[in-house]
Amino acid sequence: VVSTQSTGQHYYYTNNLSNMVLNRVTYRRRLSYNTKSNKTHFCKTPGGKLVYHYSNKKTNVSKCGDCKEPLRGIAAVRPKKLSSLSKRVKTVQRVYGGSKCGRCVRSRIIRAFLIEEQKIVAKVLKAQASKK
């Protein structure tokens, strides 16, 4: 920052070429391509050095197989981490625990019950028709 006494104006110098040369940053690991698994962001160290920090991939929340809503109570982690977690973190204590939401399970149960009731009613009506 350079200021002049007479006018009180401030001028900001930025020499882009020198900044580019000073802040040249290289990857810290062996993979040297900009792939999905090699995403980075800049971070300044306490010593004032600009370095790359590697960021983890984003996780997908498990979704219901029927309505595609996110499942509550199931950890949203990468597949490799999921294998090391305990069973209670990966499922819910219910039928179709880790794959269907409660609303869809309830509707399946009601649908199955109503279909069975319909079969019983049809059987009763058929029996009454055969008696006549």
Greater confidence (14 vs 78) lies with 78
Structure tokens at 78: 């990468």
Encode pLDDT of 77-99 as tens digits.
998 998 999 999 999 999 999 99
The answer on pLDDT for 30 being more than 50 is: yes
pLDDT digit string (tens) for 32-55? 999 999 999 999 999 888 899 999
DSSP assignment of 96-123 equals TTTTS-HHHHHHHHHHHHHHHHHHHHHH
For the segment 52-64, the average pLDDT, to the nearest whole number, is 93
H/E segment holding residue 130: helix 102-131
How far apart are the C-alpha atoms of 29 and 37, rounded to whole Å? Answer: 12
